[in-house]
Amino acid sequence: MLAKDLLSDVVPALKTSDTGLDALNWMEVFRVSHLPIVNNKEFLGLISDVDIYDFNKAEEPLGAHELSLMRPYVFYYQHVYDVIEIASRLKLTVIPVLDESKEYMGLITQSDLLHKFADLIAAHTPGGIVEMELNEKDFSLSEISRIIEDAEAKVLSFYVSKTGPDDRLNITIKLNRSDIQPVLNAFDRYGYQVKTTYVGEGVNDIKARENYEALMRYLNT
């Protein structure tokens, strides 16, 4: 999935002739804290609600103020993971998208990005979730996938993260079935230590359930 596939059809860009009040009204309507300023497809930068409040003259055009704008963006051909990285690192509620000539094409909202990410990790698809922790040298995607398939299950999503400065990896697997006991038994036979599981109403880890439900509530707002 590329940045061009996530462009919003409704959230507008600002012009330097727009006032700070115009900008704040649009931000309130679309529940964002940033908007791009664009003149004739030239991306000038992002302005935040905090920037506008600092003006103390929100009724004046944006161009009447000395703007010191940050200019984060992605190109339309970049992967959704690049979009997630820049949005997370800079805490952005919108991410501008440019073409090869650096002309403005549109923006991606944080809300749309989170919903698409939920699709990527199959968050809306019924099935169990398994988390395990293991040493990096012991990690084998092919072996883990084979164990799951031998237990008559399929992997819907699979992601890996570092748990700290050492060589430990945290593995999160979304399966296509809620009855994951055969998979757990298979992991146990091969010496894999499962840390937590989420299996619908049968939750072995309360914190995992709370985190999952909180994510779902956030995505549905």
- pLDDT given at position 212: 56
**Residue in the block written with tokens 């309130």:** 28
- pLDDT given at position 218: 57
CA–CA separation, 141 vs 119, rounded Å?
21
Closest CA to 146 of 106, 109, 195, 183: 183
Two structure tokens written together for 120: 């990527």
- pLDDT given at position 86: 92
- pLDDT given at position 203: 43
From the first residue on, what is the mean pLDDT of each consecutive set of 10 residues in the chain (221 residues)?
91 93 94 94 92 84 79 94 91 95 95 80 81 91 95 91 80 91 94 86 48 58 56
- pLDDT given at position 215: 60
Domain residue extents for the chain: 3-118, 122-219
**Residue in the block written with tokens 């399966």:** 175
Two structure tokens written together for 99: 């073409």
Element of type H or E holding 158: strand 155-162
Phi, psi of 137 (to 5 degrees): -70, -20
Q: Which CATH architecture has domain 3-118?
A: Roll (3.10)
DSSP sequence for 106-156: EEEEHHHHHHHHHHHTTTTS---EEEEEEEGGG--HHHHHHHHHHTT--EE
- pLDDT given at position 162: 81
CA–CA separation, 177 vs 207, rounded Å?
21
Q: Looking at the domain 122-219, which fold is it? A: Alpha-Beta Plaits (3.30.70)
44 in Cβ contact with 38 (< 8 Å): yes
